[in-house]
Amino acid sequence: MPEFQKKLAQLYADLNTQGARISDQLLRAVESSFDGDVTKAQSVVDSDAIIDRVDVEIERACIELLRLGATDEHSIRSVLTIVKVNNEFERIADCAVIVAESAINHKNLIANAPPTFRVMANSVVGMARDTNKSLADTDTEMAVRVLSFDDTVDRFRKEIVMDVQNRTSSGDLKPLVAFELLAVTRAMERIADHCTNICEQVIYLQTGKIVRHLAEGWTSPENPTF
């Protein structure tokens, strides 16, 4: 096996391991939020240092791989995909830390959240799981399914924001609690956005096509203008 392909395969293995690590981190963050489990939440915060370290290691390895001088389109797309997905994974981890820190600072925060929050959070955890699988298996059909669910998560977010605003205005919800609920909801929405970005890269890697989101919603990829 040529050196480039051998190192590329190792990088993909490292990236998939990082994805699984972050998926587990997100699950623990959501569970700690649901259960008010401060110990589990702290473990999420503590594990972020490992994710940051691996993030840098993968980025540096990509630079070294590009120096080997591969010129075919798929090889270049592969390295670009790893760089972009690696960055998205790190941002998902940052959002998971926000969720965990809220569980630490406000143990019973989710008790004040509308039922929609649990549905939204579980949906986002599922998106992250399916995103990792689509990447590991280069499964474009699963990637498309993840993309199609982004609008649903956005609708959940709007419902939660409206509920929190109404209860705050009526005096049924303290402003500080409302602020934390909105921050956690925003973090979950951002995770969904990062998942869709990764799935777009899976499609790009396999097809060379660029996925565009329009006002009307997700559309089929258009041919790139290389």
Q: What value does the mean pLDDT take over residues 103-132?
A: 92
Rounded (10°) CA dihedral 153, 157, 159, 163: 150
pTM for the predicted model, two decimal places: 0.89
What pLDDT, in 10s, does the model give residues 182-225? 999 999 999 999 999 999 999 988 777 766 544 444 455 554 44
Q: What are phi and psi of 221, to 5 degrees?
A: -60, 145
Q: What is the pLDDT of residue 174?
A: 92
Q: What is the pLDDT of residue 225?
A: 40
- Cα angle 115, 116, 119 (rounded to 5 degrees) comes to 100
Q: What are phi and psi of 214, to 5 degrees?
A: -110, 170
SS3 126: helix
Listed by start position, the domains of the chain span 3-218
Distance (Å, whole) CA 131 – CA 61: 23
CATH topology for the 3-218 domain: Methane Monooxygenase Hydroxylase; Chain G, domain 1 (1.20.58)
Structure tokens at 215: 């006002």
Q: Quick count: other Cβ atoms within 10 Å of Cβ 47?
A: 20
Give the percent of the chain with pLDDT over 70: 91
Structure tokens at 7: 């190192």
- Cα angle 69, 18, 151 (rounded to 5 degrees) comes to 100
Helices 38-66 and 3-35 cross at an angle (nearest 10°) of 160
Distance (Å, whole) CA 48 – CA 51: 5
Residue 46: pLDDT band by 50, 70, 90 thresholds? very high
Q: What value does the mean pLDDT take over residues 117-142?
A: 95
